[in-house]
Chain A
């Protein structure tokens, strides 16, 4: 589904990603861990097409297509979803209107008719139940005045609505209390299928108690320095990142 090869990216001439290679297959959950500043969020930004970063080398293939050639909206329409670390507020735009626009744009791209109002509302009800979010969230403007936890739950709700092939959760657990964390994790688990995949970016292993990854990768200074099964997350939890730093310090 996703093939990253030797990916290099920089911002203002500072190289952040320094040769990342990664394969994600349908049905898999990958966790990407690493100390602050290792390039985890940059990887998410580059994959989704944030123009602040410049790709200097490497390739990314998504469902057989050259991802890096696509505009950000087309990447989304191809089924790539990002749960933002800092979801953005859009005053005056209702969640309902926002989601309806997004879904219908994605449907148009796939050659489907737009959803009727009743189909859309039914889908909203259904997805709200699935991810257990308060129904008044969708009556408000996009993220406006939402608490940190509400914003993250809202990201998962949008993920449920858009039903992506590949979802990237960028530090979705940061700043969440245990209840919100459980809601987020339950949402991800319920949406998991044999034909979709998830990349979980996190600093702590806490989220991985709830979302069981198939693979854990450690990102350090813009490179994946270690990959293993979920036991690696526990090892990191126990030992911290210092041993990684020591081992891979140049």
Chain B
């Protein structure tokens, strides 16, 4: 019976990555290598104010003294940081008129990915910032948002146009020397998105950034900063894809969120970087630091992630619950197939009184992949009446993959209530047969069962993206069960 299931499982996960194409665009690129000169050149290229260069150099000097982290349940091949291109941007074409500011090649690329840059064609109610390799190429709906005082632009523009805001908040949640990859990002980041929601404003549409790695041998280091003033609300989404290549490419991003009193920020990710081929060749290294701080009382930060891509994922979107009554949430689906490795989870740091956190993690492992949940719940001395509930489930498809759970609890206040539930299950041959007997094919049965399993997390995503995420999960599993 076991062998039947294995054969079954092996058959369902074999569809090719859909976004593996490459666009031939004329690029403005640096040569490979990293030094203070590289950093000065990036800063100069972007016409940055002096404080940014200082920020970068400070980060770089710290990074030089740091070691790549080795505590995760991951096998990370040595990365030659001198063999990476740190800046690659599509060459701007001469503008014909203001309507055609985006290169048609680029527009076609994003159209192919289903990301329209045309405001007329855009998904109702979603504003997009499109980032290709090192730069943002277009941000839609800026004027509409500006009417309400909302700033949504690339981080490069924000550095030039709102230097005071950037100076105040950049690095305030993830300090330049926070960890190895965050320090590297702080030194060399080239673009990303900036969002500022003023007091009392509810952002009327979903904001979204779409990241695309296109050029060969480049690393992508994007930086996102979201500031939500008192009584504001924003829902933010990010998506990402990359061409299929035999070699690995590095993506080391940093996302910082600051939420003031009663502000609410929802941050959703559908991560679909190229995962490598069936033999584990190629794919993106996704080493990301995401952290939000609930500064004000009654503020709330909610992370939702659907992780299906990347060869290696190292990522722990976290919440620092500083304000009293603040709330942190983490909803995650991490799917690994073939030779993918994921070590992902969250940190909930309770500092304020009556703070609450919720963790729902659903891991799915197929093929020969390794999938780990790693989560920390820390309740500090002064955090009276802190509450946490964690649920960590693992689903195994086949018997060549691994699922691991590493929960850490540090409780320093006796009034805390912390609950942790964990389950591990296998998709049963009996469940699949039951579906078959009703006329449902094995592939559709796996899709049904997996989508049932992740429903709690997918329900957190905005509607259109929930549908996308469900399809993505099914595609990512094709060939893993037959």
Instruction: List the A side residues contacting B433 at CB < 8 Å.
Output: 50-51, 72, 88
How far is B438's CA from A92's CA once the two chains are assembled, in angstroms? 18
Given A91-B453, A93-B449, A101-B448, answer yes or no on A162-B438 (Cβ-Cβ < 8 Å).
yes
Given A52-B1, A90-B448, A90-B449, answer yes or no on A98-B438 (Cβ-Cβ < 8 Å).
yes
Given A101-B444, A105-B444, answer yes or no on A90-B439 (Cβ-Cβ < 8 Å).
no
Q: Is B452 an interface residue (CB 8 A)?
A: yes
Q: Is A126 an interface residue (CB 8 A)?
A: no
B452 (CB) vs chain A CBs: closest residue: A92
How far is B449's CA from A230's CA once the two chains are assembled, in angstroms? 42
Provide the main secondary structure of the chain B interface: helix
Given A51-B4, A93-B449, A101-B448, answer yes or no on A88-B434 (Cβ-Cβ < 8 Å).
yes
Interface of B with A (CB < 8 Å)?
Answer: 1, 4, 428-431, 433-442, 444, 448-449, 451-456
How far is B438's CA from A76's CA once the two chains are assembled, in angstroms? 6
How far is B431's CA from A229's CA once the two chains are assembled, in angstroms? 36
How far is B439's CA from A49's CA once the two chains are assembled, in angstroms? 12
Q: Are A102 and B438 in contact (CB under 8 A)?
A: yes
A91 (CB) vs chain B CBs: closest residue: B452
How far is B442's CA from A72's CA once the two chains are assembled, in angstroms? 9
Instruction: List the A side residues contacting B449 at CB < 8 Å.
Output: 90, 93
Q: How far is the CB of B406 from chain A (nearest CB, A)?
A: 24
We find that the number of chain A residues with CB closer than 8 angstroms to chain B is 33
Instruction: List the A side residues contacting B428 at CB < 8 Å.
Output: 88
Q: Is A158 an interface residue (CB 8 A)?
A: yes
Q: Give 14 A-B contacts (CB < 8 Å), ordered by A residue.
A: A48-B437, A51-B429, A72-B437, A73-B439, A73-B441, A76-B438, A76-B439, A88-B431, A88-B433, A89-B431, A92-B451, A93-B451, A101-B440, A105-B441
Instruction: List the B side residues contacting A72 at CB < 8 Å.
Output: 433, 436-437
Given A49-B436, A72-B436, A76-B439, answer yes or no on A88-B453 (Cβ-Cβ < 8 Å).
no
Given A90-B448, A93-B451, answer yes or no on A162-B439 (Cβ-Cβ < 8 Å).
yes
B4 (CB) vs chain A CBs: closest residue: A51
Q: Are B452 and A141 in contact (CB under 8 A)?
A: yes
Q: Are B439 and A77 in contact (CB under 8 A)?
A: yes
Instruction: List the A side residues contacting B444 at CB < 8 Å.
Output: 101, 105
How far is B442's CA from A158's CA once the two chains are assembled, in angstroms? 19
Given A71-B436, A162-B439, answer yes or no on A92-B1 (Cβ-Cβ < 8 Å).
no
Instruction: List the B side residues contacting A73 at CB < 8 Å.
Output: 435-437, 439-442
Q: Is A42 an interface residue (CB 8 A)?
A: no
Q: A72-B433, A90-B449 are in contact. List 14 more A-B contacts (CB 8 A).
A: A49-B436, A51-B433, A84-B434, A84-B437, A87-B434, A90-B434, A90-B435, A92-B452, A92-B456, A93-B452, A99-B438, A105-B439, A141-B452, A162-B439
Given A71-B436, A141-B452, answer yes or no on A90-B441 (Cβ-Cβ < 8 Å).
no
How far is B441's CA from A99's CA once the two chains are assembled, in angstroms? 13
1/0 per residue, CB under 8 A from B, across A23-51: the answer is: 00000000000000000000000001111
Out of B430, B440, B441, B456, name the residue touching A88 (CB < 8 Å): B430
A94 (CB) vs chain B CBs: closest residue: B452
How far is B296's CA from A226's CA once the two chains are assembled, in angstroms? 80
How far is B272's CA from A172's CA once the two chains are assembled, in angstroms? 46
B441 (CB) vs chain A CBs: closest residue: A73
Q: Is A202 an interface residue (CB 8 A)?
A: no
Interface of A with B (CB < 8 Å)?
Answer: 48-52, 71-73, 75-77, 81-82, 84, 87-93, 97-99, 101-103, 105-106, 109, 141, 158, 162
How far is B439's CA from A106's CA once the two chains are assembled, in angstroms? 6
Q: Are A76 and B436 in contact (CB under 8 A)?
A: yes
Q: How far is the CB of A79 from chain B (nearest CB, A)?
A: 10
A52 (CB) vs chain B CBs: closest residue: B1
Instruction: List the B side residues contacting A71 at CB < 8 Å.
Output: 436, 441
Q: Are B437 and A82 in contact (CB under 8 A)?
A: yes
Instruction: List the A side residues contacting B4 at CB < 8 Å.
Output: 51-52
Given A88-B428, A88-B431, A101-B444, answer yes or no on A76-B437 (Cβ-Cβ < 8 Å).
yes
How far is B434's CA from A191's CA once the two chains are assembled, in angstroms? 22
Instruction: List the A side residues contacting B431 at CB < 8 Å.
Output: 88-90
Q: How far is the CB of A115 from chain B (nearest CB, A)?
A: 13
Q: Are A97 and B448 in contact (CB under 8 A)?
A: yes
From A48, A81, A102, residue with most partner B Cβ within 10 Å: A102
The 7 residue pairs across chains A and B that have the minimum distance between CB atoms: A92-B452, A93-B452, A72-B436, A102-B438, A76-B439, A88-B434, A106-B439
How far is B447's CA from A97's CA once the two chains are assembled, in angstroms? 12
Q: Are B453 and A92 in contact (CB under 8 A)?
A: yes
Instruction: List the B side residues contacting A106 at CB < 8 Å.
Output: 439
Q: Are A105 and B440 in contact (CB under 8 A)?
A: yes
Q: Are A98 and B437 in contact (CB under 8 A)?
A: no
How far is B448's CA from A87's CA once the two chains are assembled, in angstroms? 17
Q: How far is the CB of B331 from chain A (nearest CB, A)?
A: 14
Q: How far is the CB of A51 from chain B (nearest CB, A)?
A: 5
Instruction: List the B side residues contacting A48 at CB < 8 Å.
Output: 437
Instruction: List the B side residues contacting A75 at CB < 8 Å.
Output: 437
Given A52-B1, A88-B430, answer yes or no on A98-B436 (Cβ-Cβ < 8 Å).
no
B393 (CB) vs chain A CBs: closest residue: A91
From B428, B434, B448, residue with most partner A Cβ within 10 Å: B434
From A82, A90, A103, residue with most partner B Cβ within 10 Å: A90
Q: How far is the CB of A216 from chain B (nearest CB, A)?
A: 25
Q: Are A102 and B453 in contact (CB under 8 A)?
A: no
How far is B430's CA from A128's CA once the two chains are assembled, in angstroms? 26
A81 (CB) vs chain B CBs: closest residue: B437
How far is B440's CA from A84's CA once the two chains are assembled, in angstroms? 16
Instruction: List the A side residues contacting B437 at CB < 8 Å.
Output: 48-49, 72-73, 75-76, 81-82, 84
